[in-house]
Amino acid sequence: MIKVENLTKSYDENIPVLDEINFTVNKGEVYGFIGKNGAGKTTTINILLSLIHKDEGTIYFDNLPIEFLDLAYKKRIGFVPDVPVFPGYLTTQEYLKQVCNIFHVSYSNIDKVLEFVSLDTKQKKISSFSRGMKQRLAIAQALIHDPDMLIMDEPMSALDPEGRKDILDIMLSLKGDKTIFYSTHILEDVEKVCDRVALIHNGKIVFEEDIDSIKSAFVNKKVYIEPSEELDRLYKLLNKNIDSTVVKKDKGVYIELKQGLTINKLLKMIIDESIELTGFKQVNASLEDIFLEVINND
């Protein structure tokens, strides 16, 4: 659906915000675009939406290059900003009628999108809305013209856990039907909804792959060991005898399995010291582990 080739943008000619980035968003997938604040996520989205000019590079939408003034591809995209702003004096219905007029679509779409986002507030003024209600309204207006693709810029950054769950449920309902480009720094949410993910860091794409492949490539396996007692002795033993990171946390220790270190070697070492265990398990890597590893090693 979207293909980006060598996209470059600088606000200061000596410091590129985007440095020849490349990525591809396939039709029907939820594509996570992650990175810390200032990494270039919003700049990328603004260029995709033709809100700002790129310096170099080419963007294709459905195999056709995007031209800055071309309205045809924009009609096939819905946009959900991080902090949506609405005319508070309007009711939901009055506002969505204006959106329908812009896209030349039927008012009958209003009831459909409001039901889909669970927002039964047609006659209620937007000024009375909670943050979560405004975000659901933002999704409703983005869907009113039945676009092929949604671009969502940090849609859950200011929501409480319940509000985040509501938006995630909506995204999961759209999965497969709409292509979703989802920019965020909330890594826990990315793992729940995304098919593939790209990490942008200092204006460069560090990786682009499905989550399982990224975990396998970037993060070493970890184990958690919990002794029945003698936590300090276990910690000292492992720190002294293995060339790997040992982190004491809660009632046990976390260890990275690398540099030839195996589970069998660990167990033998512990048994030889007669340290009794109440817990020993392999820990699955998280996307947050990967994110921290990459940016800390930059």
The predicted-structure confidence for 147-165, as pLDDT tens digits, reads as follows 999 999 988 877 788 888 8
Please state which CATH number belongs to domain 2-210.
3.40.50.300
Note whether 31 and 198 are within 8 A (CB): yes
| pLDDT value, residue 140 | 93
| pLDDT value, residue 219 | 60
Task: Determine the average pLDDT of the residues in 13-33.
Answer: 90
- Confidence check: pLDDT of 40 > 70: yes
Range in 36-50, 62-76, 190-204, 268-282 the model is least confident about: 268-282
Task: Determine the average pLDDT of the residues in 63-87.
Answer: 89
Task: Determine the average pLDDT of the residues in 246-250.
Answer: 79
Nearest to 4 by CA among 43, 48, 42, 35: 48
Report pLDDT digits (tens) over 77-102.
999 988 889 998 999 999 999 999 99
Distance CA 250, CA 239 (A): 17
Q: Give the relative orientation of helices 131-143 and 161-174 as an angle to the nearest 10 degrees.
A: 10
| pLDDT value, residue 144 | 94
Distance CA 263, CA 221 (A): 11
Q: Where are the domains of the chain?
A: 2-210, 219-296
Task: Determine the average pLDDT of the residues in 276-289.
Answer: 77
- Kindly indicate whether the domain formed by 219-296 is annotated with CATH number 3.30.1330.30: no
Tally of CA atoms within 13 A in the half-sphere of 218 that contains its CB: 24
